[in-house]
Amino acid sequence: MNSSLIGFPRVGKGRELKFASEKYFRKEISVEELEKVAKGIKIMHWNLQQAAGISHIPSNDFSYYDNLLDLTVLLNALPNSYRQLGLNERDTYFAAARGYQGEAGDVKALAMKKWFNTNYHYLVPELFDDTEIKLVGDKPFTEYAEAKAIGVLTKPVIIGGFTFLKLAKYKGSKTINDFADQVANAYIAILNRFNEQGVAWVQFDEPSLVTDLSKADVALFTAIYEKVLAHKGNVKVLLQTYFGDIRDSYEEVIGLDFDSIGLDFIEGKQTVELLERHGFPADKTLFAGVLNGKNIWKSDYKKVIDLVNGLEKYSNDIVISTSCSLLHVPYTLENETSLPDEVSQYFAFAKERLQEIKELTELIGTSGYEEQGAYLANQQVFSADRVYEDKHVQASVASLTERDFVRNVPRKKRRAIQKEKLQLGLLPTTTIGSFPQTREVKQNRSKYRKGDISRAEYDENIKGFIKECIDLQEELGLDVLVHGESERNDMVEFFGENLAGYVFTEKAWVQSYGTRCVKPPIIFGDIRRENPITVFYSEYAQSLSDKPVKGMLTGPVTILNWSFPREDISLREMAFQIGLAIREEVQDLEAAGIKIIQIDEAALKEKLPIRREEWASEYLDWAIPAFRLCHSGVRPETQVHTHMCYSEFEEIVQDIDNMDADVISFEASRSKLTIIDALKANQFETEVGPGVYDIHSPRVPSVEEMVAVLKNALTKIDEENLWINPDCGLKTRGIKETKESLANLVAAAKIIKDAVSV
Ligand code: GLN
Ligand code: ZN
């Protein structure tokens, strides 16, 4: 059985590429030194894959920053603003990726967006009326040659023209179809070059095929590939799809002259059904994505083998592969020295996935494979009893009823009670939670981690930070205070560390964008809160002020979305387990005298399914209840807030309202408050705090500009429902700009409050 890999993580085993790039950005190393590190990484990966016997090894899956940006450059589509800087090739590329400010000029980076349903971000191509798409670059050809030079014949990987056009932003009057011919011609030129190089296989990635497509989209796809494939020459073309099934285009796709089609059998819910209904052409190879490319759990060989055997009735020419690029998982388990065996035996990161592919290609089709060592060893993990199982938590989730998700006093009635109790007056001011993480704050944490200070000393220091934070807010004259979150470095990791059922890795980094990597915690067992997590800090903060201090928690959906989830229970089950844990924390905060509790759902929007028809059934139908579960047990006078980072939730406004929070704050300054129209149109009931300034920049907003934002907001939002706050937490900001910005915010609020009360 042959095997294929769609792509491999590229930052290196110890994040070598990240560190080298950062040195290069600081001008500490030369271009040549950076390229040397890159080459070392590529060669190591090719050798690894060769050793694992992968028959279709990718090249050009490497990138200095982002593959879509690589393609933009290759297709001559980099906006003029970057080229006009007159920098060398590499620096022009980095200017588009990161922005540039210096002697040559001042340009912002291209916008970044999440790559489908992953936490990886790509740089959005911008097409202008004078953009002329044509092949200009060399990267895929040089990388092929680089691999060939060490004796590895690769399958170059390039994001396809359709996905490129679907993800691009159109900055002039031209639209997607206007560029279709140019794109097709550029890909013909690419194929010509590959023919000259004697390349056997090329892989075109078209993940946009798994999104909801119109007839016009499918027609565009067909038109592009009819042209391109007529010129493929001796090169065989693999159309690779991932992150779902291609239900809208399957029939058209199989009618085109591709030599093989790569389908996702892990996330593609309807993939098997599509094969069953429409068959699979006998003249093509089926690249079957049967190993999870996105999660860190070992593959169950029995399931994989049964699946592949089942596919043999549709095709007798099958190549097995991962469901998507391994970019989305950490490099290797070998980096983890402190995970107990009973835990790590369940995992396979990228390098271990290679080993699985190797074993599976040997097992599949071999008679008596059930008796072989590799198979038996794998099955042993799956037959053993689950460690960290918690029957009590399971029973609690099983016994949840309707009533556990509903606050017993409806929102409108609660509002009156809360206004009476809290006496905040109109247009209260507040912040989102975190205050600047100063050097002292970070040092306190690292000293405690290293064992240099005791828990008591650590907590004493935190109390000091809390006191400073409360004093500052009192001085500024904010209405609803926060404790500042100096005890947490990350809003998910902190809760993960305090919940039983989570495990943590040391070096399991995953690229989020460019040189930024994240280390998601792993949900390993049933989740349970063992002790109060935040009560100590919130209670202390509240003791310092007569004003309400918000209790500050992260919600279950965000905790789940930023972790590696289990595969043996449903997302719903995990969200409810976490929801119950947060609920206990909410109850304890309330009992400790906290009057306002904020439960952040920064990442709620993020995992909305790619296909609209699945939004409710696959996600919102449990995600919204999981949030409600956290707060449904509080008294009517306890005010519940939530916060979301990106305000692009126009399409799910009703669902956000159904979270039944009393107040929601969100980012709105960059998106120019467009969300507010959607709120009005949907008669949004929750009180709202649309962020009046962007905290992602060190710039201090003026009083006038915030007054203007607020006046605008008041034309659409009832003054009874409006809160005044920045658009996100302040942890990445410096103290000085924070003080100035908040002082201006309070001044702007005063002007507006005076104006509305006359
Ligand atoms: N309460 C968190 C903070 O202020 C929220 C962070 C976020 O939304 N990303 O830092
Ligand atoms: Zn936020």
Kindly report, residue by residue over 410-460, the tens digit of the pLDDT: 999 999 999 999 999 999 999 999 999 999 999 999 999 999 999 999 999
- Tokens matching residue 729: 């937490």
SS3 597: strand
pTM above 0.85, yes or no: yes
User: Which tens digit of pLDDT belongs to each residue from 552-606?
Assistant: 999 999 999 999 999 999 999 999 999 999 999 999 999 999 999 999 999 999 8
Q: What is the pLDDT of residues 287-318, one digit of tens each?
A: 999 999 999 999 999 999 999 999 999 999 99
Q: In this predicted structure, what is the pLDDT of residue 648?
A: 79
Closest CA to 249 of 166, 125, 158: 166
Q: Which ligand is nearest to the CA of 695?
A: 2
Q: How many angstroms is it from 647 CA to the middle of ligand 2?
A: 10
Give distance in angstroms: CA of 646 to centre of ligand 2: 7
How confident is residue 158, by pLDDT bands cut at 50, 70 and 90?
very high
SS3 69: helix
Tokens read off for 242: 């991932």
pLDDT value, residue 171? 96
Report the nearest-CA residue for atom 8 of ligand 1.
Answer: 602
| pLDDT (average), residues 51-72 | 98
362 is in an annotated binding site: no
Which residue from 430, 431, 432, 695 has its CB within 8 A of the most atoms of ligand 1, so it is best to mutate?
432
In the chain, what is the straight-line distance between the N-terminal and C-terminal CA atoms, in Å?
Answer: 79
Does ligand 1 come within 6 angstroms of the Cβ of 643? yes
Task: Classify domain 411-757 at the CATH class level.
Answer: alpha beta
What CATH number was assigned to the domain covering residues 2-383? 3.20.20.210
Alpha carbon nearest to ligand 1 atom 1, residue: 433
Q: Does 231 appear as a known binding residue?
A: no
- Please give the pLDDT value at position 671: 59
Label residue 585 exposed, middle or buried (CB < 10 Å: 0-12, 13-18, 19+): buried
The per-residue pLDDT for range 25-51, each reduced to its tens digit, is: 999 999 999 999 999 999 999 999 999
Among 457, 458, 532, smallest CA distance to 498 is for: 532
| Cβ neighbours around 114 below 10 Å, total | 15
The reply to whether ligand 1 has any atom less than 6 angstroms from the CB of 552 is: yes
Least confident residue range of 49-63, 600-614, 688-702: 688-702
What rounded mean pLDDT belongs to the chain? Answer: 96
Q: What is the pLDDT of residue 377?
A: 96
Residue ranges, comma separated, of all CATH 3.20.20.210 domains in the chain are 2-383, 411-757
Q: Whole-angstrom Cα distance, residue 237 to residue 234? A: 9
Query: Is 731 close to ligand 1, i.e. is its CB under 6 Å away?
Result: yes
- Rounded Cα distance between 43 and 152, Å, is 9
How many of the other CB atoms lie within 10 Å of CB of 381? 14
CA dihedral 637, 643, 648, 650 (to 10 degrees): -10
Q: Collapse the DSSP code of 12 into the 3-class scheme (helix H, G, I; strand E, B; otherwise coil) and give the result.
A: coil
pLDDT above 90 covers a percentage of the chain that reads 94
Q: Are 739 and 730 in contact (CB under 8 A)?
A: no
Contact (Cβ atoms closer than 8 angstroms) between residue 265 and residue 222: no
d(CA 695, ligand 2 centre) in Å? 9
Active site residue 631: no
Rounded average pLDDT over 608-630? 97
DSSP 219-246: HHHHHHHHHHHTT-TT-EEEEE--SS--
Any atom of ligand 1 within 6 Å of the Cβ of 728: yes
C-alpha 693 to ligand 2 mean position (Å): 12
In this prediction, residue 675 has a pLDDT band, given cuts at 50, 70 and 90, of confident
